Structure 1
Amino acid sequence: MGNAQKKPHGRGDGGPHGEPSNPHHHHHGAAPRRGKAASADKYRVAQEPGEKVANGSSKRGSAASAPGDGSPGGNDTVNLDAPCGALPPQLSRLKNEGNLLFKNGQFADARKYSLAIQGYADAALESPDDLCVLYSNRAACYLKDGNSQDCIQDCTRALELQPFSLKPLLRRAMAYESLERYRKAYVDYKTVLQIDTGVPAAHDSVNRITRLLIEQDGSEWREKLPDIPLVPLAAQQHHRGPAPSAEVLQARAQRAAWDAERRAEVQFTAAKQEGNDLVKKGQFLEALEKYSECLRLKPEECVIYTNRALCYLKLERFPEARQDCDAALQLEPTNKKAFYRRALANKGLKDYLACSSDLQEVLQQDPNVQEAEKELEEVTALLRQSLANDSPAKQRRTVPISEVDDDADAVAAVISDSDAGVPPADLRPASAYDFGQSLNAARRGGNAAACAELLASTAPETLPQFLGSQLDGQTVGFIMQALDSHLLEKDPGLVYRHLSHLHTAERFSVVLMLLEKDERRRMTQLFEHLAAAATERGGFTRDDVQNLANKYI
């Protein structure tokens, strides 16, 4: 409202701008009278004889209206040549003349202070205390004259030179209030009270402005305030009582922390609700920003990570989604929603094995999650397809092999006619390629006996190397069938040794996870029969079989 001054409140010396109450005083919003309309005389305290004046105010009061250092008092003759701090004589005289003009009510004439400020700059002096007083005194003139904007500007300059200086803070608070900038005025008044709790006008103004802010902003008025600076103990030089105790300081710090936490909680709750509403509307990018704002306020909220992960999934930003789920699981290691959404992120990244593992974790926690069950079926098929596409055996099928010609019957016949399970030397597998061709021929013909003879002619320790990356669920099932139905009866020890090495083959753990029910049943049956055939003389016991079975079943 421009520079209009506010009507004083309360007692004749009670308002922040104040002269004694006058029934004919201008109402709020009216243009002020020049000179005395913005008076702050309520802060003036009569100086007792012999009382020292420090920085322009007596020790008894805080004088927003007194211009500053060296202002004359009583009816004594004014000595315009009295020294003022570190200022040279010509600048001290300008300052004293300004103080005299102010005392005589010539508030509009701030030229003496302006000349002193200019002279200070021209002389390149280094005395921030004195320059602070000059700005503060000129601000007092502006305040009395109703020029609130220039008052604020000079007070701010003074506070840059001497932070937490009482008079500039008080004058700026009054100027802010006159412009109805109540939040800034409230902050300055509260800062004044930290410096000196014995400023009644600051207490009155805080109470009055509190009521105005409640009317203006409602119950959340505190959240809309700028931060109130914490005045260091060293700056509380005008404090009248004893220094605050450690308990008081701790209580203040706790209160400040509680206020900050409460504001953060209000902002967090609002941002979270906005994010949830945006998700319901399908506005995932905007919701993502709201959740990010929540995490800046409270970075340890697990639910926000899982919510933001959902937004990343919808936007197909799978690496970020997985990262948020990882963060959520760091906070809550059993969070079902984080496992499920990480599974979807891994699926999007085509990491089907990790996806399957996360989905199984979800189902282990809650077998009734149908979405996880459906996803597991789908990703299992994708994993099988991925393994099949990566298999060298699949690639070789496109290359014709003339010496084999896929003649499963011929290979099987030769193998089955060998003596005591040891085929002629020319039929023993010399390499992984030879082993793979013979095994595939036996599988295509469904000839488990031929597979058993092939295994009988293969050293158990070479089996993992021969199988290599060709291993899949059907191959494992076929080998189990051959071992159980054709080789176990002839040589249980050889079966035990093959099983001791088979589980070390590449990809075996992946393949084991993807076995069908029939293949698992066949594996269990093999170990039951092997346990029944166990003897010390055969080189293994039932306990050995049980320990080995734990790696399969």
Structure 2
Amino acid sequence: MSVEMVSSLLTPGERVHGKVPVEHLDYDYIQNCSDLRYLEKIVEVLRSGEEGVYPHLTEFCEKRIEKLNPKSRALRKERPPATAADFSFDEWSQISEELKSWETEVKRTEAELREVSPLYDVEDLPPVRGSNSLISQKQNSVPSRTETKRKSALPRDYREWDKFDIEKECSKTDGSNKGKDFPVIINQCLPKINRKLDTAGLTEKERAVLASREREKGNEAFKANDYDEAVAYYTRSVSAMPTAAAYNNRAQAEIKLQLWHGALGDCERALELEPGNVKALLRRATVQKQLGNLKVAADDLGNVLREEPENASAKKMIQEVEKKLRECAQESQSKGRKILIEEVEDEELRAKPGLCVSGESAAAPAERGDMGNAQKKTAGRAEGAPQGEADTHGTRRRGKRGSLDQCRTQEAHEKKLPNGAQASGSGTADQTGRHNSSADNTAASGTGSRLDAPCGALPPPLARLKNEGNQLFKNGQFGDALEKYSQAIAGCIDAGIDSPEDLSILYSNRAACYLKDGNSADCIQDCTRALELQPFTLKPLLRRAMAYESLERYHKAYVDYKTVLQIDVGVQAAHDSIHRITKLLIEQDGPDWREKLPDIPLVPLSAQQHRHEEPRSAELAEARAARAAEGAAKRAEARFSALKEEGNNFVKKGQFQKALEKYSECLALKPGECAIYTNRALCYLKLERFAEARQDCDSALQFEPSNKKAYYRRAMAYKGLENYLACSSDLQEVLRLDPNVQEAEQELQEVTVLLRQTLVASSPDKPRKNITIRETNDSDDEADPSNSKTRQASADDSAERASLPLRPTNAYEFGQVLNAAHSRDDVNACAELLRRVKPETLPLFLSNKLDGETFHFITRALDGHLLQEDPGLVYQHLCHLPAADRFSVVLMLLGQNERQQITHLFDHLSAVESEEFTGNDVRDLAAKYI
């Protein structure tokens, strides 16, 4: 049956095989159809044979599909499995023999393995995923038929179910397993996953594939709730190629394991690779919430909701965080602040040599200077990088400079004592500054009195923990000191002690322990908390900067070191680190490294510590400024040379417009370069922009009055402007400077001919005037004011002004009138000219001839004459004037007088009431000029 016959049997709306009408099974329809999916349905109908077999039509439809998409799935044809009929007798015999030999080999190998060891030996079984134990195969073996008890038949109706004794059956089950304690075989030799991959010699693409493969293994382990194994595989992925996805996944696994600090570090690394990563922000918020940093968590959740407003997890978590913040605020308002007040008599105060007059201990100057301890080198740090030591409570109060000098003098005196009364040396922890005892008191009271010394608002148990931590830090036992500080911090948080100073010092001390042990991530975390409690504190800032530097986060380290120097310019360790990091950032980011730095916070004056070395810092600042200026000059010179070379190359190629642009950029860098003006004048001549060429030659002659190139090219510009008299004058000047210039001689001859022709052509048109000549004496000249020189000059000026066109039609006529008015300083003529020029044509008439003097002359005319008569016209001219070519350059080079003139002009304009503009319009327009 043909397609036409099938179509005749069905109605037009009837479809076959789903949504394909039978009339679409046609050559013309398939040829015109461009819907790939619909053609695939048509070919499916043709292949099914439900409407008949049409091999040619099917092949035509397949070709049409192949033309639209050669990779279409509809073109794939299933191939049936091969059988013996598909091969020749010899081929099939060879295949059969190979299969039989393979089967025989497999059976032989299996028999050999059975002889060597049992098939199901426990030692050969792999360990159970996520556990360290193996279960004996014998315990899980299927019991034999003789051991299997015959099960009773289940009840079939309700009456039988009523007779079923559940307790009896449960007791049977419990009794069968009673007393059977299956031994567990512990496998002590589980293989450990190597967390670092050797990627030496691999290409970047190979490392990316390897990292993706290890990350997928970690995902499988995470789905199986084996988080330790997931962390191991994510670490392998990071070692192959660090990616934000791997860091995010590892952070999630560490959150499951409650490894909060590790998860925080991974989230920060993910955000460094992909700023604004929503997953990293959400997981960092989770960690900050667990660590008690509710404000930081709220900020991260706010960023997440800005990116994804419908994120359910973020919405739920931010509600919990805000609720806890409100509870904390209510608790802080309900609790008062505890203040410890002690009376100290003057005699007792004088008896304690370790106590300064201002209440600051002798150990305090060490923290004001170079941090008072020897450096412990950590991995990845440059030699000589400073480290911090544990803070004391003496840092809470700082005296004046004179008190500090007294403390340092007293400290130096006590260091000389033979019995070592004052504890000093490298890497020591300071004692409590407010209650420091002398050597005699220490010997009399023993160690216990020092450990029980009060510390600010801390209760005695927590003060003892802090003092014990200081003593352990002094002895170099940083791990034990860290535990003491952690216990003190936990006690403060549990007790709800409202003393930000004490808690900040505890965090800073614990950060020092982390830094000594090389745990930079936790050090950064504690320093950040300390700074949140007490902003712009010196020691936490310095320690965090050192930790950032050890992690090679040089941008953040640079910012912290700069903040330290704002607080105290005398910290030499910060100066040294700044110099070292600056070199690294220049190598890493190039000359624009400062643009990639985060914002450096401005330290308030109340937090700054002024020192006597300010003159030295001023000299250092001047030296740095000089070096910066020298570097900028070198870069500008290199840029200028490159632009000049590019412009010369464009001139050689005949691309004068591009050369013109390069020379203009050169002049923006060095406006006083004469050669650039002459080169740009040549480009203007080639482009037949003669007025601009003349102006550049005038500028070149201002710098070099004897430049023959400038004279020659200005002569060519005058020739183009048909000013043959000026052209002849410049050519004669060229020949005066160098008589051997043949081009000037040839041009002079041509210009002389043109000048004669012009004079001859113009002489008949001029009417002859009758001039009366009479004799006069000196007395008559003086008596008759009509014959005075002043009256004659005024008449000449009036005649010259009358001869100038005040309605210019092009840039040349406008320039002639403006230059004539400017040469006589005739502001009235300039105002009349601007009155007759449309504001939108002013930038076109000025072109690139605008300079500082012309700009000042125009503003004088607008302010002194036009403003009173037509303020709207003045506003329109000021609106269109910035469209001139050289407006920005001229505005940048204006002097103080010219800027004052502009300020006065806008002040007068803003005072005028007009319907064409408002005061806001004038202020917006003034922003373009001032």
TM-score, normalised relative to structure 1: 0.42
Higher gyration radius (CA):
2
TM-score, normalised relative to structure 2: 0.27
